[in-house]
Structure 1
Amino acid sequence: MFKASCHCGGIVLNADEAPETITSCNCSICHRIGALWGYYLDEQVETQQTVAIQDYRWGDKTITFHTCSGCGCTTHYTAVREDGKTKIGLNTRMVSREDTKDIRVRYFDGADTWGFLKEES
């Protein structure tokens, strides 16, 4: 089980397994949030909440960022893919460091080129 929780515990997301990679994006909002995203399909993540979730959309409004109204942590985002399925970007900063320390981080240039940066081998 791969468990993410906001600081106050009001929002908990559970996935059956850890993502293969984590993405660091430098777009304007991801840079400000400081998130590291693990990607799933909607049906792969169970969301439990005891507080209200605040939603935020901007730009072309294709991505919705979800934030805990209790502690202010951005726990995840949702976006509808071209195939109609909902993608979840789970903020792995909400997961224990022990559970993420061995996952490779990929760097996505969301600010300029909209592509992954070359990885050193």
Structure 2
Amino acid sequence: MLYKGSCHCGRVAFEVEGELDGAVACNCSICARKGALLWAVPHLGLHVQAAPVDLGTYLFNRHAIQHRFCRNCGIHVFAEDVAPGIERSAYINIRCLEGIDLAAVPVHQFDGRSM
């Protein structure tokens, strides 16, 4: 299924292909503060429509994940593995998807704080 999403102001829009059968609520230091519900998809299924100047990146700890956000409104829209290759994943903040019934999406609690 094709889903459309965006940040609050719309400068960072995206489409993502996949089956939304669940999301992850992570309790690591950044995810707990963002409150994002993340859906892992193959990176090739994510198509971002944003000017490079509008898409910010935050890295921390081991710099293994690029946390992507809108530089205008500050909304975290997705994250990306930094590893090269086609096996990369993208982690979509499903709160940014259009027309999603969040209450109907099963959420798995992940203990990222222990990693």
User: Which one is further off, 15-24 or 76-85?
Assistant: 76-85
Partner of 1:11: 12
How big is the shift at 1:100?
Answer: 3.6
Identity of aligned residues (%): 27
Structure with greater strand percent: 1
Counterpart CA distance in 2 for 1:16 and 1:98 is 14
TM-score by length of 2: 0.86
Partner of 1:87: 89
Partner of 1:38: 39
How big is the shift at 1:17?
Answer: 3.5
TM-score by length of 1: 0.82
Q: Is the 8 A contact 1:2 1:99 kept in 2?
A: no
What letter matches 1:79 in structure 2?
Answer: D
Structure 1: gaps of 5 or more residues: 115-121
How big is the shift at 1:93?
Answer: 1.1
2:61 to 24, 40, 59: 59
Counterpart CA distance in 1 for 2:29 and 2:99 is 25
How big is the shift at 1:97?
Answer: 5.6
Partner of 2:25: 24
Higher radius of gyration, 1 or 2: 1
Q: Is the 8 A contact 2:15 2:46 kept in 1?
A: yes
Partner of 1:47: 48
Q: Is the 8 A contact 1:37 1:90 kept in 2?
A: yes
1:4-39 per-position Cα deviation (integer Å, ceiling 9, x unaligned): 210001111211344211100000000011100011
1:65-112 per-position Cα deviation (integer Å, ceiling 9, x unaligned): 011011000111001469762210011111246444322111101112
Structure 2: gaps of 5 or more residues: none
Counterpart CA distance in 2 for 1:11 and 1:41 is 19
**What number of residue pairs does the alignment pair up?**
113
